[in-house]
Amino acid sequence: MPLRFLCRSIAAVLALLLAWPAAAQSATAGEIVATCVAPVHASDRAAAMLRPPMRFDCTTPQIAFGAGDYWVRARSVPTGAGAAPRVLRSWSVWQRAATLYFGYADGVVIRRTIDDVGAARSIALGAVFEQPIPVRGVPVTQLLWHVRGAANIRGIVANARIATPAESVKRNLVFATLYGGFGGLCLALLVYNLSLWSALRHRFQLAYCGMVSALAVYAFSSSGAMAWLWPELGNLARLRVNYVALALAAAMALYFARHFFESRVFGSRTLLAARAVGLYLVATAAAFALLAPWQARVLDLFYSLGFVALTLLAGVILVRAWREGSNYLWVFGVAWAAPFLLAAIRTMSSLHLIASSTWLDNSTLAAMTLEALVSSVAISYRIRLLSIERDAARAQELVARMLADTDPLTDLLNRRSFLREALVAGARTPQLLVLADVDHFKRVNDTLGHDLGDEVLRRVAAALRTTAPAGSLVSRIGGEEFAVLAPADTRGLPDRILDAVRATRMPYDLTITVSVGSHAGVLDHEGDWATMYRMADQALYAAKTAGRDRARGAALSIAA
């Protein structure tokens, strides 16, 4: 596929990715709540923190504060909260516990404490914390979070919003469609590729199944469904699984690429780099899962750098595939353009080079859905080419075997293949071996030349092939000597061979005859063949001695 088509396809993928944010943002529920942050002091009390925000920083980005305990206060509260049903939503982030304070216009403050298990129970689809705001018929005028043990990787209270129940339901339906469709796609791809693997056993099929399985676990954890099924594990356990699943999916993607492309694409250095990046991703994910919250931001940074390396390596692989003229470059490039580009964008977000967003957090699933659909075609295309290569190899092998087993002049079996097939045939039933030798063949060569002599041999071979019973073996075993092996109960074969050669029109209307010797017996092993051949050869000698152009059996030759 031309490189121009690949570039156009990648441009189309980019256009789809640029169109995705608008669709995803339609699933963002509610009015955004601007927040201010203050570190927790030992003497702090919630009542004091609800008074005018003297200590709160409203300009510094949350991630600049580092890990620790914080007060987070809403700068203003959207109208309607508290007086009518509303839900408070924010991104799921790493925190040990949080206490929410709802301050009402009449001075009442309602407190709600959420620990790790409580956070898991409050997860909505898309891994969003969702808490209903208590309704008292009086509007909420103040919102305060007391966050404890914040790792502050993506923020302390990130993307806080207040939404109506209808907006929340709409958002959950959108993400239910996204995650449900992706889960069904993963299941279909696993069944499809495992079925193909059971028949074809290509390594890239298993690698692809491993990648799809890891992505299914990633979607299961990042959607929040894992917290629904096992809330007792807590939200932090869900986040640990999320890190490990995404790293495993990336490592399996590298393994898939290694076996999807031709071996020439991965040189020794590229192969070493692929192994190193895959191991690094898995190791940093495991380190985060085991050690966080200890140095969680540093561990997350190392983890994100692994995806930087993955993106760079993907570019190297594609360039090498292009230079090596890979047959699979175009399908791989189209399928994986979106995931690799989004991996780069998400890595920039993880490194805080660009702002995070709802669409970006869930773009992995959209990109992998596109990848999965195109990769299904890519894998089918890959298998098709492998089938063509296999069929061509088999055809070449068959031709080579035929050339090795066939006499090039007459297209009959040569001596070696005749002996091999004779031992196979003789193992079933007794056989009749008939030897035929062209009479006075040296005179033909000396008089008319070797070219016409070769033509005589070809016509004798054709006569033998026509006369021999179906399923018998016909061979040129050397010079002007031929052999036929037929079942022992075949009657009159030597005489039919004599008549067939006599009736065959020869060059310059020459009269060509053969002498025939035969012997019947068993062929259980090579020793039997030596015996049978010796007896038939003695019979052939007897026919020659008796005047040629005649047939003799082994018994007659022995008597003579």
Nearest alpha-carbon partner for 92 in 121, 134, 70? 121
Nearest alpha-carbon partner for 74 in 82, 549, 116, 280? 82
Cite the beta strand spans of 348-402 per DSSP E.
Answer: none
Q: Which DSSP symbol is given to 353?
A: S
Nearest alpha-carbon partner for 382 in 321, 303, 312, 296? 321
Distance CA 294, CA 254 (A): 29
Distance CA 73, CA 267 (A): 56
**Which phi-psi region, left, alpha or beta, contains residue 157 (left: φ > 0; alpha: ψ -120 to 50)?**
beta
pLDDT given at position 383: 66
Distance CA 487, CA 498 (A): 19
Tell me if 136 sits within 8 A of 76, measured CB to CB.
no
Cite the beta strand spans of 48-96 per DSSP E.
Answer: 68-74, 87-91
Residue 157 makes CB contacts below 8 A (sequence gap 6+) with 35, 62, 72, 90, 93, 98, 145, 147
Greatest alpha-carbon pair distance for the chain in Å reads 135
pLDDT given at position 54: 75
pLDDT given at position 33: 93
pLDDT given at position 16: 47
Per-residue pLDDT tens, the chain, 560 aa: give them.
444 544 444 455 445 444 444 444 444 567 899 999 999 999 999 988 988 777 899 999 998 999 999 999 999 998 888 889 999 999 899 999 999 999 999 999 999 999 999 999 999 888 899 999 999 989 999 999 999 999 999 899 998 999 999 988 888 888 888 888 888 888 888 888 888 788 777 787 888 889 889 989 998 998 888 988 898 999 999 999 999 999 999 899 888 888 878 788 888 899 999 999 999 999 999 999 999 999 999 999 999 899 889 888 888 888 888 888 887 676 666 666 666 666 666 666 666 566 665 555 665 666 666 666 666 666 666 666 666 666 666 666 555 555 567 888 888 988 888 888 888 876 667 899 999 999 999 888 888 888 889 999 999 999 999 999 988 999 998 889 999 999 988 889 999 999 999 999 998 888 999 999 999 988 877 788 888 999 999 999 999 999 999 999 975 433 33
Nearest alpha-carbon partner for 426 in 338, 346, 486, 345? 486
**How far separated are the first and last CA of the chain, in Å rounded?**
76
With vertex at residue 203, the alpha carbon angle to CA 201 and CA 207, rounded to the nearest 5 degrees, is: 125
Tell me if 167 sits within 8 A of 30, measured CB to CB.
yes
pLDDT given at position 330: 65
Residue reference for tokens 């689809």: 125
Express each pLDDT in 51-70 by its tens digit: 877 789 999 999 899 999 99
Tokens of 435: 């030897």
Query: Would you tell me how many other CB atoms lie within 10 Å of the CB of residue 169?
Result: 14
Phi, psi of 138 (to 5 degrees): -120, 135
Residue reference for tokens 């396809």: 9
The CA–CA distances, whole Å, from 195 to 141, 264, 332 equal 60, 28, 21
SS3 428: coil
